[in-house]
Amino acid sequence: MASAGLGADLLLANEVLDEARLRSMVDTARQHDARVTVAVDSPATIAAAATAGVREVLIDVDVGLPRCGVMPDAAGDLAMRAAEVGLVVRGVMGYEGHLQMDLDPSRRAERVREAMIALRSAHRDVGGDIVSAGGTGTHRDLVIGLDDPAGVTEVQAGSYALMDTDYMRHDAGFVPAIDLIGTVISVGARHGVIDVGLKALGMDHGPPTIDGAAVWFCSDEHITFAPDDGSLPRLGDRIRVRPAHLDPTVARHQVMWLVDGDTVVEPWPIDMRHW
Ligand SMILES: Cc1ncc(COP(=O)(O)O)c(C=O)c1O
């Protein structure tokens, strides 16, 4: 993102212990005059950041998702530790990933509010200008601005840019912008087969979909499908497939082709997928 010119204020919203990786990121940021802030949640991630030349961090706070982050009441001490080794603590982040797929809007809003109140209690001890949280499923539940006791200053949503069919179950207000394009390589009595399979798809959120057709099943190299109107596809037809989970799907590919309708505008390399 830094080398693509998007380096005004980037957040690496994850813990990194590997100093070599962090150093390589710091070097890239320097070359492109980019500002990168890194999440930390332990003395070890603070030490790695400081050693690698990272200058700015956010304290990652556990707001209910059992993944990264310190408990809210430990955030202040960790911030002090980061300051002691010369890091600038810009504030806190807390990812309420466990609430993204709660499809009941009022329950979700209430649970997100509780999570953000916990994040703000950590922020009181940590200080700084940033309270960063949220995702595509919860962006509407967040209040922007610190006047509200559950308010935040920035939203970490990412999937909204391309969307996937899992998030489309939500009325999240975004349209899908990503497809895989398969070719029909075999036609049976009642079905067609395209050359897109498990090796090309993140399947942890379920099978992909094809507009106007039923997906029967996916195998390593194939999707078996049948058009809803009873017709059969022809060999060589190009079929658009929508993934159920965008992030791990993208990470299985080397290049994304940016298109305007059916016209290819340019290829985008997916260069961070093995990082
Ligand atoms: C720490 C963190 N913040 C924000 C997000 C954004 O979520 P989404 O892509 O669902 O908008 C994620 C998603 O994995 C995440 O891990």
Q: Model's pTM, two decimal places?
A: 0.94
Name all domains of the chain by residue range, CATH numbers in brackets.
10-157 (3.20.20.10), 180-269 (2.40.37.20)
User: Which pLDDT score is estimated for 272?
Assistant: 78
> Per-residue pLDDT tens for 83-107?
999 999 999 999 999 999 999 999 9
Instruction: For residue 167, give both structure tokens.
Output: 């998030």
User: Which pLDDT score is estimated for 185?
Assistant: 98
Query: For residue 154, how far is its CA from the centre of ligand 1 (angstroms)?
Result: 13
DSSP for residue 169: T
Q: Which atom of ligand 1 is nearest to the CA of 13?
A: 1
The answer, yes or no, to whether any atom of ligand 1 lies below 6 A from the CB of 156, is yes
Rounded Cα distance between 163 and 141, Å, is 18
User: Which pLDDT score is estimated for 273?
Assistant: 75
User: Which pLDDT score is estimated for 171?
Assistant: 78
User: Which pLDDT score is estimated for 139?
Assistant: 95
Rounded Cα distance between 162 and 167, Å, is 10
DSSP-based three-state secondary structure for 48: helix
- Which residue has a Cα nearest atom 4 of ligand 1? 156
Give every residue of the chain whose pLDDT is below 70, as ranges: 274-275
DSSP for residue 146: T
The answer, yes or no, to whether any atom of ligand 1 lies below 6 A from the CB of 99, is no
User: Which pLDDT score is estimated for 275?
Assistant: 63
